[in-house]
Amino acid sequence: MIFVDAFVYKLPKQQWLSKNVLSNIANNYDIVMRLDDLEALRRYRERMNERILSAKNLGIKRFFALDTQAYEKGALDVKTKELLGLVASTVLRCNDCITYHVIRCVQEGVSDEEFFEALNVALVVGGSITIPHLRRAVEILDQCRQKQQRGQPVKL
């Protein structure tokens, strides 16, 4: 196994870590994320968002505000918007975004049935290339559910 950022990657035996392996590792190997890594990801996201916003770039600040406002209650409720975010993130194959939206879906009370129906839409739209990202989404969901069963909050 190798640690890259906050994630653990399982490697086949005798695999050397060439540049090609490192650049393609997330797409070619199973990703395992421990419960503690969700907290590490939360801290990383918070720290880096603060760093980015501290640059005081007006365009970036406006985009961050627009992103936040897009997921607020409107004609669609927040839960539906988070499911849409999960579908879009899965189709776009953005693992950080998938993790974020899975956590938000759990926080908004999305049922497993709703979750898997949304992932089905992502699969139909995105095709088989999204299957590794469905695996990631389900792994994160399972970890969030474990935290809930232990009475622990699921936080971003």
The CATH number of residue 43's host domain is 1.20.1290.10
Q: Convert the pLDDT of each residue in 8-49 to its tens digit.
A: 445 454 444 444 444 454 444 444 455 557 888 888 999 999
**Residue carrying structure tokens 């990202």:** 133
What's the pTM value of the predicted model, to 2 decimals?
0.76
Regarding whether 88 and 59 lie in a shared domain, the answer is yes
User: Is residue 16 domain-resident?
Assistant: yes
Range of the domain at 81: 33-149
Q: Are residues 7 and 77 in the same domain?
A: no
Q: In terms of domains, do 39 and 6 share one?
A: no
| Residue 155 lies inside a defined structural domain of this protein | no
